[in-house]
Structure 1
């Protein structure tokens, strides 16, 4: 869709929050820019969210995701994406994390090629968190970012930091503190709009973007809307069309069947696709929630070598490299284990094996969640990818049909796996309600995606009926209630993150798990309880 050439005449958005301290972010000009984005995008966003619900209703009724007949010509014709900027030619290791001040400095200094500053799954979107993040990123772009810890240690960004890429929230998430004409704004447009408004010119002057990661897309039409929004922003900010570049996370099951189409929709500005593996597993669970024959076993058994995940990642490589785009690997959730050398080495061995699989498959880079893992991942990619990327590896051997892409993996449901899901879902939700979006639990960095897996599996296991553990004991809602009560008591009496919100989190998880319908996202009902 062509972007209107005229500037929109708009009044500032209404901010339903205390703005003191954020006047230089929530300026009248910035708010007017947000209003223009909202008025342009909101009608189509609502249509797209309705289309999501309609697709899910068909899946619930027995239909299965598949490649689209109406877009076959896009998949089979020859075309390439636009030239990739020099700053993004080598993305062998990317680190991700929330937009917290110290985290940003450590990530930029980590030795990774790219830092994805995350307003989405690793951030709890309180208004203060989101606006503090905008302040922090503005300071990072301007070169003034610094932090002093309570113990007096000073943190500053070194020379040659990682390239900054920002992930706004997905299309489905609202920002209740910002409304335009009485309508709540999309969190995606608030995050994108404020960052672009305040930083686009400084970044463009240094040939550094702005660059974005686009999450949770389910269809090419959602990518078209993003492309139109980015073009509108460029026009409004006086940037050359195509300045803003994007990488798209393929982290929903419907999207894997439209990767060519998504690249085509964003072909003048897209630089790659990313295997968002944890959200992808959650989307598999959610999309096929009513299909008893496609239940998954314990989360620990759902690894990237099982057929539906292996095929997904290899098809992504084939698709991207055919179109001249990068194929980014997934997240290593392990974190260093202090005080136990053997356990730490076992965790690092898992990271090395995962990254070796990715680089040998043809990925152009990978993700880590902790600065200490940058060197581990970089060593693997340096040894096996001497060039800046692997666009020359076409993976023409990959054959990915519909049935393989949705095939369930074998495995079992264990008592320990069930209990771990209860604990992870509870502890993460409670910490999220306290404002934390990344929570270390049992030596893994858990975020919203992994919590979503845990609570979606629990819902499926107790609602499909007649399921058993490996010892043949039945799985039922009473067992969930008992486990939840036990972990809630432990968390409430602890000093762990989330202890103060244990009861609130437990009540939310109980209502979601007892409900007859699986909620689309944990973060939507939780957002109403977020301070």
Structure 2
């Protein structure tokens, strides 16, 4: 690799006196030159694909339907192609832990006993500049085995276990829709996805190969096979740029949008030399259904989010099709999240919740998934037991082709097949959870414990989307109250007062509660539905 020319990227809106620690180690001239080249080559196509999303959404609004693509039927009908075989480090994925890349989580996730850690720069991480840079520092330090952490509250110290016991890292960069305003070329911000991918790949690709692993990624919020094609082009270019073999990068795509559910095979095909699997992401998937079919009438109105389990007919169609598709093409199928936070102070409630987690993971393993997600280290042995019981000594069950599965286009959007209705308490919960999550996000926290669950940005998205949908549809709850903007405002004001009473005036004033309240109401009630709440929220971040 030849020496790069000085990077034209400008670091903007960063006070030199308050720059994150060790920023210069990450933003080297060579690394910035690489990110700049990614930006020049691929951001124009990113922009075209974002515009294509808008056009497709307009078509869904017109038809209230989706179908498998006729123009790619030849890809689905061709039985011969498979994705590349999984590298050894990604062959057994029976338990994956997710979380942000802060220093404590980095250590705990790597030590957790999970096979994989989803190191998250996206939904579980608020993209403050300190988090963007700090996450890159923490991953390098972990690979160099020079990472430790002492909790300032408890004084407890954390350090890595022996290398052979550590989880394999799979990094999730930000979605295509988010820009990074702190890095700009000629006044144009670089997409956050290219910043997260570019800095991590440039600094760690060879380092990971030396450790017997590789640069592995989770690709979020993909909406079409054309977006997967763009990622594949980026991987090809990046591998050539740093001089490593094609196929070294491996990517797992989150099927967390309703449009992507109709293009699973095509997505794997576009990434076939770099693909390692697909994942079923529940909350973002439901958010995507509401977003795309929000004006589709009564039959698309979702009930309370907790009533939409993975056993709902349209969710079961989605997950079974995902397993069938992955195994047909030799890819891993990774199941959904167990977000419960164990509570040792209430053994009875704890065991009830753990029983639900076991049942969920037993179902996934029985359905043919090769692994699944958890949000807390204490859930790793629970999920592992479910998959151990099915897999035994095998690393996966890709030989289970699930040829019994037959899913129609209509099955995937049969929201009205679920026998449940929105409730007044569901509205209250959506306001409460949305407010509390957004408040923490604005303070730089992306993974937040709320009412016994580990929540991330997808939680806030489904919460505000359901509020929007219920108000727009004029839902009448079981208590006779109608979902209106005034009702939502009343509940939000009551929640703000309740929080103040709960935490006290001083803590309330130190937080971002009023901003969170106002932002939730904006993205939940504005007639012009915001594509992602993180877009207006990002303008409020440091």
Same fold per TM (> 0.5)? Answer: yes
RMSD: 1.6
Change (3 A) 1:72 1:529: same
For residue 103 of structure 1, the aligned residue among 94, 102, 105 is 105
| 8 Å contact from structure 2 (residues 4, 33) kept in 1 | no
Instruction: Determine the structure 2 residue equivalent to 1:124.
Output: 126
Could you say what secondary structure the match of 1:418 adopts?
Answer: helix
Q: Determine if the alignment matches structure 1 residue 520 to structure 2 residue 531.
A: yes
**Alignment of 1:158 onto 2:161:** yes
Please point out which of 206, 218, 221 is paired with 1:216: 221
> Hey, what does 2:519 align to over in structure 1?
508
Aligned counterparts of 1:9 and 1:400: Cα–Cα separation in 2: 52
* Alignment-derived partner of residue 192 in structure 2: 187
- CA distance in 2 between partners of 1:128 and 1:506 (Å): 24
Specify the alignment match of 1:255 in structure 2: 260
Q: Distance in 2 between matches of 1:248 and 1:400?
A: 20
**SS in structure 2 opposite 1:304?**
coil
| 8 Å CA contact 2:68, 2:263 repeated in 1 | yes
Counterparts of residues 82-481 of structure 1 (less than 5 Å): 82-150=84-152, 151-159=154-162, 160-292=165-297, 293-386=299-392, 387-408=394-415, 409-465=418-474, 467-481=475-489
Q: How does 1:38-77 map to 2 (within 5 A)?
A: 38-77=39-78
Q: Is structure 2 residue 520 aligned with structure 1 residue 486? A: no
Structure 1 runs not aligned, ≥5 long? none
Are 2:25 and 1:24 equivalent residues in the alignment?
yes
Query: What's the offset of the Cα at 1:338?
Result: 3.0
Secondary structure at the counterpart of residue 336 of structure 2: strand
Q: Look up the SS of the partner of 1:327 in the other structure.
A: strand
Deviation at 1:8, TM superposition (A): 8.3
Q: State whether residues 75 and 261 of structure 1, in contact with CA within 8 Å, keep that contact through their aligned partners in structure 2.
A: yes
**How far is 1:421 from its partner?**
0.3
Alignment partner of 1:15 out of 6, 11, 15: 11
Match of 1:339, SS state, is coil
- Cα distance in 1, alignment partners of residues 98 and 248 from structure 2: 23
**How far has the Cα of 1:415 moved from its partner?**
1.4
Is the alpha carbon distance of 1:75 and 1:69 closer, same or farther for their aligned partners in structure 2, counting shifts above 3 Å? same
Shift of 1:494: 3.9
SS of match in other structure, 2:503: coil
Cα contact 1:119–1:130 (8 A) shared by 2: yes
Q: Which moved more, 1:319-328 or 1:138-147?
A: 138-147
Q: Deviations over 1:265-320 (max 9, x none)?
A: 00001010000111111111111111122111011110000011101000000000
Instruction: Judge which range, 470-479 or 272-281, deviates more.
Output: 470-479
Q: Is the 8 A contact 1:332 1:351 kept in 2?
A: yes
Q: Distance in 2 between matches of 1:471 and 1:246?
A: 47
Q: CA deviation at 1:451?
A: 1.2
Cα shift at 1:515: 1.0
Preserved CA contact (<8 Å) 1:196 1:210: yes
How far is 1:142 from its partner?
1.4
Cα distance, 1:410 vs. partner?
Answer: 2.4
Q: Are the counterparts in 2 of residues 249 and 276 from structure 1 also a CA contact under 8 Å?
A: yes
Which string of whole-angstrom CA distances, capped at 9 and with x for unpartnered residues, describes residues 396-450 of structure 1? 0111101110001220211111100000111100110011101111111111111
Counterparts of 1:354 and 1:182, CA distance in 2: 48
Which consecutive residues of structure 2, in runs of 5 or more, have no partner in the other structure? none
DSSP 3-state at the match of 1:57: helix
Deviation at 1:492, TM superposition (A): 3.6
C-alpha separation between the residues in 2 aligned to 1:9 and 1:232?
A: 18
Shift of 1:7: 9.8
Cα distance change, pair 325–377 in 1 and its aligned pair in 2 (3 A): same
Contact 2:4 2:30 in 1 (8 A): no
8 Å contact kept, 1:81–1:268:
yes
Contact 1:12 1:29 in 2 (8 A): no
Aligned partner of residue 24 in structure 1, secondary structure: helix
* SS of equivalent residue, structure 1 residue 353: helix
Contact residue 7 and residue 236 of structure 1 kept, 8 A: no
- Residues 492 and 33 (structure 1 numbering): CA distance in 2 closer, same or farther, change over 3 Å? farther
Paired with 1:420 and 1:351, the residues of 2 have a C-alpha distance of 21
Aligned to 1:35: 36
Q: 2:64·2:296 contact (CA, 8 Å) conserved in 1?
A: no
Deviation at 1:493, TM superposition (A): 4.2
